[in-house]
Structure 1
Amino acid sequence: MTQTATPRTAAIPILMYHNIASAPRDLKVYRSLYVSPGAFARQMWLLRRWGYTGLSVTAAEPYLRGEKSGRIAVITLDDGYADNVQSAMPVLQKYGFSATCYVVSGQIGRYNSWDDQRLGIQKRLMTTKQLREWQGGGMEVGAHTRSHPRLTQCDEAQLRSEIQGCKDELEDSLGNEVTQFCYPYGDENERVVAATREAGFSAATTTHRGRAVAGDDLWRLPRMQIARHHLLPQFAMKVFSGYEDRRR
């Protein structure tokens, strides 16, 4: 008797970016957090060339739940830097893509207070006006806590303030529901994940490596960092092959 082969579940790459800008010459650490506008444009072109559609996390949820299938890549940007709206959004719009930008609500319109001393530079974050421009351009705003702490080190009151407080502040500022969350530093445990779910977020991303597949825990989604030093062939290997999956 002939057996019917079980179809292979399609892997879904969730890309993690930070700054879409050239790295400052005097920056000595964490230069990998920068991807130049030209490199980002080439990466988005390659996704489209290979038949992929770039989606925000909310737009990708039906694929992550197994309700839809297709060639998609989820595009996320952490922290809410002003260069995201200036340099990333026009490229995303060119290819009909959407993306999710995770915002630190207590620093809107300010700078990266959580790591500016370590980096030696202050990086400008989007204002409320720019966040509305981001949304108006077809993109999504997600939550990244109020102050970018390590959540596993927070007590219960701090945890609620950082997670639920961020959601409330963003929704008050933007006038719409915010359903996506990202753990700063990828720092999470069962207690943190439970608080995220209780706050009403429908999904959350980590820094665990690998591509997602339908049926994964939506509050512990893996991602792959795209860094300054990744040339286009390396980007293709990470996104289109099982290279990252072996590191899950």
Structure 2
Amino acid sequence: MGTMIPILMYHQVGVPAPKGTPFRGLTVAVKDFQRQMTWLSRLGYKGVSMADLMPYLSGEKRGKVVGITFDDGYCNVLEHAAPILNRLGFTSTNYFVADQLGGSNVWDHGIGVPPSPLMTADQIRKWAAAGQEVGSHTLDHPHLPLLGDEQALHQMRQSKAVLESIVDREVSAFCYPYGDESMRLRQLAREAGYANATTTARGLAKPTDDVFGLPRVTVARSTHIVRFLQKCLTRLEERKGGRG
């Protein structure tokens, strides 16, 4: 089967919203995140960003790696996850919504998800200065399949340009909001100048996968450590949709 690499998908790391709140489970407790990263390190795995992961996926590099990604660019990831990653020498990719920097998850407010602050431009620079990767999650987190090609391409290209101007380095990683993607959108992501793109399809990334449609492994609040390690270390995960 060859190389199979888990790409973990996180959203928030911190204190969850009140019980009954939609998508409350996408906030992982700090102690749980620390336990997960510590166990990966103990077992000889290195957490890597998408940029660092690609040579392993292509076979140019060999080693025990796990991709680590965060969707949306929440402040609590900088506050709680970054110090843990830095301490272990891990890298990761955070996908930022370029028109909501310093704002909040407005795309979720209508379904009852409480506001949670997103990183400002200065905080994104701190994230990048710590060796973590800046990726794009579009300008304002739309459902891309509902947009025409020009609008979708604008969302991809312009968000890339905004983020590159902030960190003064190339932004090569893209993530489809809500996991909404298609062969058309994959082609547009390629045209926009990205090197890879992740989805919310469940599974381990394989060398034969389209690098503009890479699956991920969702890590939720309820994912206890044994299940977490099973997700990371088992060779097959069923492919289903998730949230992005």
Q: Distance in 2 between matches of 1:173 and 1:113?
A: 22
After TM superposition, the structure 1 stretch with the greater mean CA deviation from structure 2, 96-105 or 8-17, is: 8-17
Aligned with residue 231 of structure 1, among 224, 230, 244: 224
Deviations 1:58-77 (A, max 9, x none): 01110111211110000000
Paired residue total: 240
Aligned with residue 109 of structure 1, among 102, 106, 128: 102
In 2 relative to 1, CA 64–170 (structure 1 residues): closer, same or farther, beyond 3 Å? same
Larger radius of gyration: 1
In 2 relative to 1, CA 85–27 (structure 1 residues): closer, same or farther, beyond 3 Å? farther
SS of the equivalent of 1:212 reads coil
Say whether residues 1:100 and 2:93 are aligned partners. Answer: yes
How far apart are residue 26 of structure 1 and its match?
A: 5.3
Q: How does 1:199-238 map to 2 (within 5 A)?
A: 199-238=192-231
Aligned with residue 167 of structure 1, among 138, 160, 168: 160
User: Is the CA contact 2:58–2:207 (under 8 Å) kept in the aligned structure 1?
Assistant: yes
Q: Distance in 1 between matches of 2:115 and 2:79?
A: 17
How far apart are residue 161 of structure 1 and its match?
A: 1.6
Q: How does 1:55-204 map to 2 (within 5 A)?
A: 55-204=48-197
Q: Distance in 1 between matches of 2:227 and 2:178?
A: 23
User: Is the CA contact 2:98–2:138 (under 8 Å) kept in the aligned structure 1?
Assistant: yes
Q: Distance in 2 between matches of 1:214 and 1:119?
A: 39
Q: Distance in 1 between matches of 2:185 and 2:236?
A: 29
Give the match for residue 247 of structure 1.
239
How far apart are residue 47 of structure 1 and its match?
A: 0.4
User: Is the CA contact 1:206–1:223 (under 8 Å) kept in the aligned structure 2?
Assistant: yes
Q: Distance in 2 between matches of 1:233 and 1:197?
A: 37
How far apart are residue 22 of structure 1 and its match?
A: 1.5
Q: Distance in 2 between matches of 1:107 and 1:74?
A: 25
Give the match for residue 47 of structure 2.
54
Deviations 1:155-200 (A, max 9, x none): 1221122111111111122221101000001101111111100011
How far apart are residue 243 of structure 1 and its match?
A: 4.8
SS of the equivalent of 2:117 reads coil
SS of the equivalent of 1:204 reads strand
SS of the equivalent of 1:206 reads strand
After TM superposition, the structure 1 stretch with the greater mean CA deviation from structure 2, 81-90 or 169-178, is: 169-178
After TM superposition, the structure 1 stretch with the greater mean CA deviation from structure 2, 197-206 or 64-73, is: 64-73
Give the match for residue 14 of structure 1.
7
How far apart are residue 144 of structure 1 and its match?
A: 0.3
SS of the equivalent of 1:11 reads coil
How far apart are residue 27 of structure 1 and its match?
A: 5.3
Between the aligned residues of both structures, percent identity stands at: 41
Q: Which amino acid aligns with 2:74?
A: Y
* Structure 2 residues without counterparts, runs of 5 or longer: none
TM-score, normalization by structure 2? 0.95
After TM superposition, the structure 1 stretch with the greater mean CA deviation from structure 2, 76-85 or 19-28, is: 19-28
After TM superposition, the structure 1 stretch with the greater mean CA deviation from structure 2, 157-166 or 191-200, is: 157-166
SS of the equivalent of 2:47 reads strand
Q: Distance in 2 between matches of 1:103 and 1:65?
A: 26
Deviations 1:100-125 (A, max 9, x none): 00000000011111112213411100
How far apart are residue 216 of structure 1 and its match?
A: 1.8
Q: Which amino acid aligns with 2:129?
A: G
TM-score, normalization by structure 1? 0.94
